[in-house]
Amino acid sequence: MPLPARPRPAPLLIAWLLALPTLAACQEEHAAEAAPTGYALKQAEATKVRVLPALLQEMQRSLETTTPVESERFVAIVPLTTGIVTEVLAEEGDLVVAGQLLARIDQREALAQLEEARIALQEAKDSAALKGLALRDADANIEKARLSMDQAQSDYERNVKARIISALDIEKLRVAMEIAKQNHAAALLAKERAVIDERTSKTAIARGELALERAEIGVSTTEMTAPFDGIITFRGVQVGLNLRGQRAAGTGEGSAAFLLADHSDLRATIYRPQRELALFAGAMEGRPDDAASGPAAIQVTATTEALPGHTFTGRVERVAPQIDEVSPGGARLLPGMLLRLQLVTERHQDALTVPKRALRREGDTTLLFVADGDQARRVEVVEGFSGDEYVEVTTVRGELEPGMQVVVVGNRDLEDGKLIEVSGWDAASAAEAAEAEEAPAPAQASAGSDAR
């Protein structure tokens, strides 16, 4: 008798599998019943945020740096002669004018040489006066010799024609005539000698005048004076100090007695990377000073801790491939003060700006959230010029317009389309926003900031 067939398990397996959804559904219902009611409410709760409007305002691109103030004219006053300082008439910080006496070196030797030169010049002039008298005397002697010669020649010729005297007398007249001619020639020669002597005396006078001028210069080298109006920034001399002058050094260098700076013509030299040279191309190419390009487009302002509360304006004066020089104005600035310079190189009028706190970075993407009713709308933006609190932004599809409310607090964990609740904005809110801004940002946002 055949054995009964064993039942196949397939139908049981199918029935078990089909029963699984029912079992899972029961478990979900059980979990839902066991969960607290507050959890479901929390899932639907809106994120509290604070917003500020996007604004249209002017944005600037600027460069900031620090550099000391320099004077366009800055010189070291060095004595030309060596000697003992006998007078010091200026101190550090004194305002002086061109030609003002600052210090004096012992002048006794120089004054003695000056007096000697004056005496020598006077002797040369007196000698020249005597030579002038000799020249006039020579002229008189020539005229006297000429008259004697003419008379002797006339007597000789008249008696030779008349033949009324003896031959011996005629011979005497001839001899007298020859002597008169020789005397006339000698008078002419004496005049030539007198002319040379007079010319020599004039040369002696010129030499005496030159010696006197050199002696006067020698006296002047013992006096240190200001070459231009300015301020004394350093004094390196005192009474009794033996200074070594440039002439004694033989190298053009000596002991600096004073440093003088022109405080009315100041400048500041800054060094910038060559990649920024294009920012100053207008100044280099000599383009017109208009509002869009050229030197006038670069606005220079300067501040210094030495004069708090004061801002000085300047202009780009010269541009070199490695150096940019600007001249901050203001008579209260002094050489040596440390300036903080800001150079505005470009302006965007009516730029669309948002608070910096509104931006969030995800890798290479910069985004913000706009309060669209009770939902947050994600908007990707591209940053432009940045200020202290606001940054210029642009969007690809014009998703952001002036006046739209952008989320500045509570935007770190927002997602596109998430429910939001806009809170009021008061002093307490501003303080809370500042604390939120100073709090550590997520690593991803920090990396994005560094990349920027």
Asked if domains 47-58+349-451 and 74-106+222-261 share a fold, the reply is no
Q: Helix, strand or coil for residue 115?
A: helix
Residues counted in the chain: 452
pLDDT at position 224, please?
93
pLDDT at position 442, please?
36
Residue spans of the domains in the chain: they are 47-58+349-451, 64-70+263-348, 74-106+222-261, 109-220
Q: Which CATH entry fits the domain spanning 74-106+222-261: 3.20.10.10, 3.40.50.150, 3.40.50.1440, 2.40.50.100?
A: 2.40.50.100
Distances (CA, A) of 71 to 13, 77, 299, 310: 99, 15, 20, 19
Q: What does DSSP assign to residue 239?
A: T
Which structure tokens are listed for 330?
């203001």
Buried-state track 38-53, b at ≥16 Cβ within 10 A, e below 16:
eeeeeeeeebebbbbe
Give the model confidence (pLDDT) of 310-323 as tens digits: 888 877 777 765 44
**Going by DSSP bridges, is the β-strand pair 420-422/47-53 parallel, antiparallel, or unpaired?**
parallel
**Going by DSSP bridges, is the β-strand pair 242-243/74-77 parallel, antiparallel, or unpaired?**
unpaired
Which structure tokens are listed for 333?
């600035």
Q: Helix, strand or coil for residue 234?
A: strand
Give the model confidence (pLDDT) of 86-120 as tens digits: 999 999 989 999 999 999 999 999 999 999 999 99
Geometric angle at alpha carbon 195, from 190 and 198, rounded to 5°? 125
Q: Which of 308, 401, 408, 397 is nearest to 358 (CA)?
A: 408
**Going by DSSP bridges, is the β-strand pair 405-409/47-53 parallel, antiparallel, or unpaired?**
antiparallel
Q: Which of 153, 139, 211, 219 is nearest to 182 (CA)?
A: 153
**182 CA to centre of own chain:** 82
If you classify domain 64-70+263-348 with CATH, what class do you get? Answer: mainly beta
Which run of H or of E encompasses 83?
strand 83-88
pLDDT at position 28, please?
45
Q: Which CATH entry fits the domain spanning 47-58+349-451: 1.20.58.110, 2.40.420.20, 3.30.360.10, 3.30.2180.10?
A: 2.40.420.20
pLDDT at position 17, please?
36
Cα–Cα distance for residue pair 364/360, rounded to 1 Å = 11
Contact call for residues 111 and 83 (beta carbons, < 8 A): no
- Kindly give the parts of the chain with pLDDT less than 70: 1-44, 246-255, 274-297, 320-337, 342, 424-452
Neighbour tally for 87: CB within 10 Å: 15
If you classify domain 109-220 with CATH, what class do you get? Answer: mainly alpha
Residues paired with residue 303 on neighbouring β-strands, in sequence order? 340
